[in-house]
Amino acid sequence: MLLEQRAIMDLDRRWAEAEEWKNQQVKPPTIWTEKKKKKSLWNKVQSGMMNKILDMIERRMRFSNQDSTSTVPHVAQQTIPMTRVVQHYEALESVTGGREIIHSNVLLLRRAYSQFRPVYGDGECFYRSFIFSYLEQVLDRQDTHEEHRLLAAVKGVATQHARLGWTSEFSRSHKAFKKLMKKVMRWKRHRRWRLVPSTNSYRKQKLLEFFSGYSTTENIFAFLRLVAAIWICSHSEEYELMIPELREDCNLKDWCFREVIRHKVFTDHVQITALVTALGVPLRVEYLFQRSGLDLYTGQDSQDDIPASTCWPRHRHLPPPGHEVPRVTVLYTNGHYDIIYPHRRDGPVPSIDESCSQQTAQGESSTGESSSQQIARGDSRSGERSSQQIAPG
């Protein structure tokens, strides 16, 4: 009897423990306080806003990817024969009404030049054409004498900037420019395979990639503009005579900050001459609408007024005797600058005859639109100087 009662009590205890464990596995209903209800509602609003933002970003990215094939390149991937120059600038002919002038000029230009390379007309076209053409020639050389010569010239400009005491973006853009020159030297040393030097195609492709977007070139153009402004203000007696806009309420420094340093402002002969003189790079500008070109700098020494200690980083980096600085040539058309390539010295020079005249006047018929034609169209839309003195030059 006693054993039976103990067995019943033990069974009841086990049953109670089982019921308690079962209750613990069932989550009790959540009782929200007023504060928690408000917070939950705000979380829902935030979540909805975030979803809308993400959807908008996704739509924009999708549109950008769809439109990427029609994006105008900053520098044309391929050069264009001079026989197609009239066809390329056909939109400009209708604006100027100078078809017969263009054709007669093309005959003369074709005698001296073989190809041209269009660049994007966004207000930085001269700086883009100038520095791309210069570096393209630097990459063709196996040595690095020219890179060190240019860096020495830039170091002299930095000294002049310190003397002026300006508050500007010079330090940051200067670092970006030196980084670019180091990239150029690294591209020339690159080895795809062991003991195999980098090819010209590899170097040119790296240069085209660098100049394909604003993320890499914006600081370079800012630096080149600052170099021109620093040189102008450091040689005020020479350049004040070239600038009729100067008056009591607009001194040389004010003019430089407004007309030289500011992004996407028209680039004229004053700014161009200052830049190429400061860097010591010979430059010739050819014109599609007039017969004679203009040498804005021919190569005289631009470092005469800079102390020798600031010119060359090391004596071993001095250019050897007979060193030639690359000569840049650009083609000016209606407020825009493109790159133009002289005939190779060892290559054939075409004769100017009647057949050449007819071919140039008619152009080469083609179907579809090339990237260079897109650039020409974009330039015609933004190629004229506005009332604010802003234009693709």
Q: Residues 95-129: pLDDT tens digits? A: 666 666 677 788 889 999 999 999 999 999 999 99
Q: What percent of the chain has pLDDT over 90?
A: 48
Q: Is residue 19 part of a domain?
A: no
**pLDDT of 310 above 80:** no
Q: Is residue 49 part of a domain?
A: no
pLDDT band with cut points at 50, 70 and 90 for residue 1: low
Identify which of 6-15, 275-284, 376-385 has the greatest average pLDDT: 275-284
Cβ contact 323:145 at 8 Å: yes
Q: Is residue 21 part of a domain?
A: no
Q: Is residue 222 part of a domain?
A: yes
For 116-155, give the secondary structure using H, E and C.
Answer: EECECCCCCHHHHHHHHHHHHHHHCCCCCHHHHHHHHHHH
Q: Which residues, including other chains, have CB under 8 Å from residue 41's CB and lie 6 or more apart?
A: none
Q: Is residue 327 part of a domain?
A: yes
Pick 360 or 198 by higher pLDDT.
198
Q: Is residue 64 part of a domain?
A: no
Pick 334 or 157 by higher pLDDT.
157
Return the amino acid letter for 58.
Answer: E
Joined tokens for residue 146: 């020219």
Q: Residues 246-286: pLDDT tens digits? A: 987 889 999 999 999 999 998 999 999 999 999 999 999 99
pLDDT band with cut points at 50, 70 and 90 for residue 5: low
Q: Is residue 99 part of a domain?
A: yes
Give the number of other CB atoms < 10 A from CB of residue 179: 12
| Bridge partners for 283 per DSSP | 297, 328
Q: Which of 307, 304, 215, 228 is nearest to 271 (CA)?
A: 228
So what's the pLDDT on residue 199? 72
Joined tokens for residue 262: 């500011």
pLDDT, average across residues 378-386? 41
Q: Is residue 50 part of a domain?
A: no
CA dist 360 → 98, 176, 373 (Å): 15, 42, 17
**pLDDT of 22 above 90:** no
Q: Residues 192-213: pLDDT tens digits? A: 554 555 677 889 999 999 999 9
**pLDDT of 360 above 60:** no
**How far apart (Å, rounded) are the C-alpha atoms in residues 17 and 246?**
99
pLDDT band with cut points at 50, 70 and 90 for residue 311: very low
So what's the pLDDT on residue 72? 81
Give the number of other CB atoms < 10 A from CB of residue 53: 10
pLDDT band with cut points at 50, 70 and 90 for residue 214: very high
DSSP state of 313: S
Cβ contact 296:116 at 8 Å: no
User: Whole-number mean pLDDT of the chain?
Assistant: 76
So what's the pLDDT on residue 77? 94
Q: Which of 280, 383, 343, 381 is nearest to 109 (CA)?
A: 343
**How far apart (Å, rounded) are the C-alpha atoms in residues 288 and 293?**
9
Q: What percent of the chain has pLDDT over 70?
A: 60
- Determine which of 233-242, 345-354, 357-366 has the lowest per-residue pLDDT on average: 357-366
**pLDDT of 130 above 90:** yes
Return the amino acid letter for 144.
Answer: T
Total domains in the chain come to 1
**pLDDT of 18 above 70:** no
So what's the pLDDT on residue 346? 57
Provide the CATH number for the domain around residue 228: 1.20.1300.20
Return the amino acid letter for 74.
Answer: H
Angle, in degrees to the nearest 10, between helices 145-164 and 170-189: 170
> Which alpha helices (DSSP H) does 308-353 contain, by range?
none
So what's the pLDDT on residue 312? 40
Give the structural domain span for 192: 73-382
Cβ contact 266:246 at 8 Å: no
